[in-house]
Amino acid sequence: MCGIVGYVGHRDCTDVLINGLSKLEYRGYDSAGIAVFNHNQKIHVAKSKGRLQNLIDRMNQDGKPTGCAGIGHTRWATHGEPSDINSHPHSGGRVTIVHNGIIENYKEIKDYLADKGVTFSSDTDTEVAAKLLDYNYNGSPIETITETIRDLEGSYALGIIFADHPNVVYAVRKESPLIVGVGENESFIASDVPAVLDYTKDYYLLEHEEIAVLTESGVQIYDSFGRKIQKELKTADWDVEAIGKGGYEHFMLKEIHEQPTAIRNTIMPRIKDGLPNLEECGITLDTLRNFRQIFIVACGTAMHAGMVGKYVIEKIARVPVIVDIASEFRYRNPIVGEGDLVIIISQSGETADSKAAMHLAKKMGAKTLAIVNAMGSSIAREADMLIYTHAGPEIAVASTKAYMVQIAVMYLFAFEMALAVGKIDEDECRRLVAMLEETPEMIERLLEKKEMTQYIASSLITADSLLYIGRGLDYALSMEGSLKLKEISYIHSESYAAGELKHGTISLIHDGMPVIAVATQKELFDKTVSNIQEVKSRGAKVILICRDSYEPETNTADLKFGLPEFDDLLMPMIAVVPLQLIAYYTSVHKGNDVDKPRNLAKSVTVE
């Protein structure tokens, strides 16, 4: 989604903005632009469709703005196609802005302003906000901003400059995230902490409708009534290396390799005396005893982590779990309320649909538990209970290590829940926890045998379409394997419950069509093998992910990735690794932009 950076200080503003925007590239974008107060105190705007490099090339050609204050933006198109004209910043006369989010009532405002003779040149909701600010402008930026945000519906983070207030940057947000970085004689605004980490680790989290004013003498923050307020300065615990590639060709590969550490960082502080202990997250055995059912609500990969959670919780704790796609949950009038627990899983903690689902759950009287990676994000702050995953910054759009720690937390939670409701005793719980603790080492060993996944990937690059199949936990895993492949390789793929194929989908199988069969569950193995044979005998090229000990007959698989012996229940923790690597290498072989796949955004902050 869109990224915002703003700067006031002693450095070359354009360099800081471009550097900051490059750190936000992972969010996904299709155009970029900046607006800088030049040394003659006039605003110089440069923008371009496409990658940040296009903007840099354009500035090299047309002249680079030089000054010490300005705003920058990477746009992920919502209103209007990606184009130079729709790129941000947008100007409304005396006011120039960059915007992340969606102004839902932009049409009404546009009509209102058009009636007053205001004209528009782009298709964007952002230009409407810029023109409204200009229309309301009375010489006092704070008053104008407080008045204007009363008229704006939807979500926004805005970076604003006023032509007659040179070298001052204003910012305000509602729903969409924005931080204010504070350095030595310099200050920043940014959609996310990585954009400022080269300069400072200290930042303020801007709350709803708070306004930040960045000047040469520092940062002032105001509430929505224009009253000055004091805020707690936070310090990021990420360092610059954590957001670099560390010698890997892509962030995605680096993040796949970081999974063992991410698991250790996430689970070890939550294990005491060999048992799960989630007390610091506000969860005790007593809390868990009182829930009659659990909803897990999330989007994309996070929802797939919820699917693993469902199988595990239901299997060992025997508590009913409903997994919902957040965008469906919020509009399907769910039967949820007091006595229910709603778990929201999110890497970014800012996903608009997940956030709205959480608000709905709270309104309906359910308790909410957030499982979130990004510290201080909206979902993390607003949930009743919170378990942070400690994956560190995830930059690649395709989520890997965040998924891994989400499922690790699902396991810990399920073990604690099963103990709380008396379905397992402490000895069994200790046995399960000990197995979970073994997974980082097992993953480290798996990562040493990447060659087979490279070979499998090379066999997929000419495919137009493929299927992932599995049963039970393997089906949950297939969903993630399939999403990973399609989002970065652009090959159409679907995941299917293996037993369901014969009810229609099997008609798609044709000679040479790849089918990736995940068969790690001993209990269901023979059943899955029968389904594999059904597709194999119709010409499918079967790639089998199963235990190393299984030697497939010729009528079962063409290629096999072997996994070590492990308990069925915990198999997803290790079996997902070859699925991630197959997706990664397929994308690499196809020459795609692995970390920034087309059309996708890292953090989906609009509906």
Find where tokens 């089918």 sit. 515
Question: Measured from the CB atom, is 347 or 489 closer to ligand M6R?
Answer: 347
Query: Least distance from C-beta 485 to ligand M6R, angstroms?
Result: 11
Question: Measured from the CB atom, is 322 or 600 closer to ligand M6R?
Answer: 600
- Among candidate residues 534, 530, 536, 529, the one with its CA nearest the CA of residue 512: 536
Residue 422 burial (CB count, 10 A) = 11
The residues, any chain, with a CB within 8 Å of residue 556's CB and separated by 6 or more, are 529, 532, 533, 536, 542, 544
Q: Are 330 and 353 in contact (CB under 8 A)?
A: yes
Q: Is the dihedral of CA 597, 599, 603, 604 positive or negative?
A: negative
- Among candidate residues 550, 548, 552, 512, the one with its CA nearest the CA of residue 532: 552
Query: Least distance from C-beta 222 to ligand M6R, angstroms?
Result: 30
Long-range contacts of 162-167, Cβ-Cβ distance < 8 Å, separation of 24 or more: 162/94, 162/95, 162/137, 163/42, 163/43, 163/94, 163/95, 163/96, 164/94, 164/139, 165/141, 166/37, 166/41, 166/69, 167/8, 167/37, 167/41, 167/67, 167/68, 167/69, 167/215, 167/216
What is the C-alpha radius of gyration for the chain, rounded to an integer number of angstroms?
Answer: 25
The residues, any chain, with a CB within 8 Å of residue 429's CB and separated by 6 or more, are 274, 275, 276, 415, 416, 418, 419
Per the residue annotation, which of 2, 13, 281, 429 is the catalytic one?
Answer: 2
C-alpha distance from residue 94 to each of 71, 145, 162, 164, 216 (Å): 15, 13, 6, 7, 21
Q: Are 201 and 42 in contact (CB under 8 A)?
A: no
Query: Least distance from C-beta 93 to ligand M6R, angstroms?
Result: 37
Active site residue 602: yes
**Which residues sit at the interface with ligand M6R, rule CB under 6 A?**
299-302, 346-348, 351, 354, 397-399, 487, 600, 603-604
Residue 163 burial (CB count, 10 A) = 16
Query: Least distance from C-beta 320 to ligand M6R, angstroms?
Result: 24
DSSP label at residue 190: E
Query: Least distance from C-beta 174 to ligand M6R, angstroms?
Result: 19
Question: Measured from the CB atom, is 439 or 603 closer to ligand M6R?
Answer: 603
DSSP label at residue 25: G
Active site residue 281: no
Query: Least distance from C-beta 483 to ligand M6R, angstroms?
Result: 6
Give the CB-nearest residue to ligand M6R: 300
Per the residue annotation, which of 131, 486, 560, 602 is the catalytic one?
Answer: 602
| Number of residues written out for the chain | 607
Query: DSSP E strands: which ranges in 504-570?
Result: 514-519, 541-547, 559-563
**Which residues make beta-bridge pairs with 212?**
171, 221
The residues, any chain, with a CB within 8 Å of residue 126's CB and separated by 6 or more, are 79, 88, 90, 97, 98, 99, 103
Query: Least distance from C-beta 470 to ligand M6R, angstroms?
Result: 19
SS3 content of the chain, % helix, strand, coil (to 5): 40, 25, 35
Question: Measured from the CB atom, is 17 or 395 closer to ligand M6R?
Answer: 395
Query: What is the phi/psi pair of residue 213, to 5°?
Result: -125, 120
Query: Least distance from C-beta 238 to ligand M6R, angstroms?
Result: 16
**Which residues make beta-bridge pairs with 60?**
none
Question: Measured from the CB atom, is 95 or 358 closer to ligand M6R?
Answer: 358
Question: Measured from the CB atom, is 190 or 529 closer to ligand M6R?
Answer: 190
C-alpha distance from residue 513 to each of 53, 154, 541, 578 (Å): 39, 45, 6, 20
Query: Least distance from C-beta 348 to ligand M6R, angstroms?
Result: 3
Question: Measured from the CB atom, is 91 or 587 closer to ligand M6R?
Answer: 587
Question: Measured from the CB atom, is 16 or 370 closer to ligand M6R?
Answer: 370
| Element at 494 (helix H, strand E) | strand 492-497
Instruction: Give the N- to C-terminal CA distance of the chain in Å, as an integer.
Output: 11
Question: Measured from the CB atom, is 148 or 301 closer to ligand M6R?
Answer: 301
Query: What is the phi/psi pair of residue 124, to 5°?
Result: -85, 155
Query: Least distance from C-beta 70 to ligand M6R, angstroms?
Result: 29
Q: What is the dihedral of CA 61, 62, 63, 64, to 10 degrees?
A: -80
Question: Measured from the CB atom, is 148 or 347 closer to ligand M6R?
Answer: 347
Question: Measured from the CB atom, is 271 or 479 closer to ligand M6R?
Answer: 479
Query: Least distance from C-beta 398 to ligand M6R, angstroms?
Result: 4
Instruction: Give me the helices (H) in 519-601, please.
Output: 525-536, 571-589
Which residues are catalytic, by number?
A: 2, 602
